[in-house]
Each structure stands twice: as C-alpha cells, then as structure tokens.
Amino acid sequence: MSSNLDSIDRSRFGRIALACGGDSAEREVSLRSGRAVAAALDALGLDYAVVDGARAVVEAGAAGRFDRVLNLLHGRGGEDGQLQGALALYGIPVTGSGVLASALAMDKLQTKRIWAAIGLPTPEWRSVGAADPVEELLAQLNLPLFVKPAREGSSVGMSRVDRPEQLAPALALALQHDCNVLVERLIQGPEYTAAILGDAVLPLIRVETPRTFYDYQAKYHAGDTRYHCPCGLPAAREAELAELSRSAFDALGCRGWGRIDFMLDESGRPWLLEANTVPGMTDHSLVPMAAAVAGIDFNALVLRILDSAGEWT
C-alpha cells in the first residue's frame, strides 16, 4: 500500500494543535501517544504545538491560534464528540470522526444497539445501573461475562466474571467510572483488531495475552502480550472480516481513521466488540503496527491522519 506522501500538500495544514493529555482516565496513554506523534511532526518539519486538554484546544482555536487539530485525546472530553462539536463551531478541521459518530462510538451501549439493529453480530448484552439486581442478570445471561463501563476505553474499569460471586464487585468497579454499565456475554476465542485508514482496512492483527483478558496492563505495560500481523487467517477469510469491520465502522458514521475490535468464537463466527475513533499511537499501539505491515511507516501514518482532518459534524 503506497503512502503517497508526495501528493499531500502540507502547506495547507497551517499551524497544527497536537491535542493530548486531558483529564480522562486515559490521560497517561494520551500523553504517550502525543510524544510519539510529536516526534513524527518534528521529522516531517510541520508547524505545531502540543496542547493539553480539550478546553485548552477550544480556547486556542477560538483565539485563532491554530488552523487544524490532530486529536489524540483518548476517552471522554476528546473522543466523545464534545471537542469535535466545539471545533465545528469555529470551522476548525479536526482528525477523526465527527460529533455524532464520536459520541456513538464512545458509548459501547449505543454502538451495540446500532450494530444489532442492522444485523451486525455483537454479543448478547444487558444495560445495568446501580439499582439493578444482580440475580436478574445471572438469570438472563450465562457465565462467563464481561462487565464494562459504557463510556471508557483502554479496558479501564473492566472485569471478567467467571463465578456468580464475582459479578457484584465487577459492577461496583465499573460503576466507579460510569453510571451506565454494559454486561456482555463473553466470547471464547481469539481476539482481532481491524485498523481503518481512509478507505482502506489495514492488515488484521490477532492479539494474544496470557492474562485473564486483554486488559490495561496487557495493552500498555506487559512484555508478554503477542501481536500477530499478518494474523494467520487465509486471505479470503481475512478479507471477509475486513469487510465486516468496514461495515461496522461505517454504520456508526465514522470517518478518517479508527479501529474495530472483534473476536471469533469456537466455530469461527465473528462478534463485534467495540469501535475506537481515537486509537492509541504509542509503541504498543495497534494502528501503527498494522500500518507498518501495509508499508506505511509511522511518519507517513501521522501525515495521512493529519491529511484526513475534516470539518464534518
């Protein structure tokens, strides 16, 4: 896959705000992404400044100090449509999806409702609040289960539940991060991710961890997480799953770049888990890994993402 860097008119980027940090639970991951991308922007010779947090980005944009925003604010405030909506008021292009798609993708419950409504496969789930009785959940969904805050990323507040007595503590942990919690049937099988860049679905990655699941430690700190790219599937099967991932991305109205996570069950059937509209760009991150296999180095990836910035809402 050609990166076509020479065809990108960098002069139209103007002054760039590299948005990272913020105050979400994913602040440290966002800062790591920001450092990696800042090094690429330096190498590309682009005019930019690092801006910490959504409020500072919007204030700088309103003051006319930037022409374009490269958004690496993971989590609420930066990935959920708030920043995108504020920048749209000033006509400032921002990387990634627009207001509606960002809000839908950030909320795992809304994502699953849309996918289920149009017939895309996603594991059976229930929406849970603080007052809902545990006994009803256990009667409705068979163990094992995953418990997730509806609007967090990087597996923050997430638990695997294998025994009935684990469910209440898992719900309590998730409710510390969000008043809405998703309880989802666990899929037994390999986990995959599909990185999307513009019109292309990059080579699929199969993720393998010895931990209970692919949690925060496995994503950002563990040295024993294994990433398989190429993923090992036959080419025709990989193409089918790439098409499914594209459909899931498009169903939410996502644009520019992002990632779709899914699993295959024991019979090989795919199950969509979630969408990410501001994926990580750290040394452990999956989009740069897939891009490299596709022949797109990190600097070229950053330029492609920056070039895709739009004013869509």
For position 218, what pLDDT does the model report? 45
pTM of the predicted model, to two decimals? 0.89
* Of 52, 99, 97, 91, the residue nearest 68 (C-alpha): 91
pLDDT digits (tens, 9 = 90+) for 264-273: 999 999 999 9
Confidence class for position 288, pLDDT limits 50, 70, 90: very high
220 pLDDT more than 60: no
35 pLDDT more than 80: yes
Answer whether 196's CB lies under 8 Å from 130's CB.
no
pLDDT digits (tens, 9 = 90+) for 187-211: 999 999 999 999 999 999 999 876 5
313 pLDDT more than 60: no
Task: Share the mean pLDDT of the chain.
Answer: 89
* Of 128, 136, 176, 19, the residue nearest 83 (C-alpha): 19
Q: Which domains does the chain have, with CATH numbers?
A: 5-95 (3.40.50.20), 105-121+187-293 (3.30.470.20), 125-185 (3.30.1490.20)
Residue numbers annotated as active site: 26, 154, 220, 259, 261, 274, 276, 280
- Tell me the average pLDDT across 10-25: 90
Answer whether 72's CB lies under 8 Å from 34's CB.
yes
For position 45, what pLDDT does the model report? 93
pLDDT digits (tens, 9 = 90+) for 124-174: 998 887 667 777 888 888 889 989 888 876 567 888 899 888 898 988 898
pLDDT digits (tens, 9 = 90+) for 51-97: 999 999 999 999 999 999 999 999 888 999 999 999 999 999 999 99
